[in-house]
Amino acid sequence: MTNVAAISQGDAHAPPVDRSRRNCRHIRVLRWTFRKDDEDAVVCELALTGEDREYELRVPADWSPTGLSVERFDAALTAFERHAMIERQLLDEGWVLDGFESERVTLH
């Protein structure tokens, strides 16, 4: 016995279903860019981790009070407080906020 799958004419030209998108997640990354004279920009980023359990703050280690370029926090408020501390240091040393972005990033 032979099995034959019938395709209606409406389905013959339908684009294939992209099942890989099912595993993709999106997170929001907040990014602050600071500039001073001719020096390289200082970029601070804050986002949820891929597991949505922690907030990750990325900043050049030279500007981090802990000396780490990546810090993780359990609460958003604590992460924003650390960012505010770093921002205050930058502003006190003559840096200016040059830009702020909120970007939607796809995690695979």
Q: Report the pLDDT value the prediction gives residue 36, as an integer from 0 to 100.
A: 96
Do 107 and 28 contact (CB within 8 A), yes or no? Answer: no
Torsion of CA 10, 12, 15, 19, to 10 degrees: 100
Residue pair 95/32 in contact by the 8 Å Cβ criterion: no
Per-residue pLDDT, 20 = 52
What pLDDT does 101 receive?
95
**Given this model, what pLDDT does residue 78 score?**
96
pLDDT per 10-residue tile (average), the chain, 108 residues: 48 54 75 95 91 89 93 95 96 96 83
Q: Where are the domains of the chain?
A: 23-107
The domain made up of 23-107 is a member of CATH 1.25.10:
no
pLDDT of residue 45: 96
pTM of the model: 0.72
Q: Provide the residue type at 92 as one letter.
A: D
CB 71 within 8 A of CB 82: yes
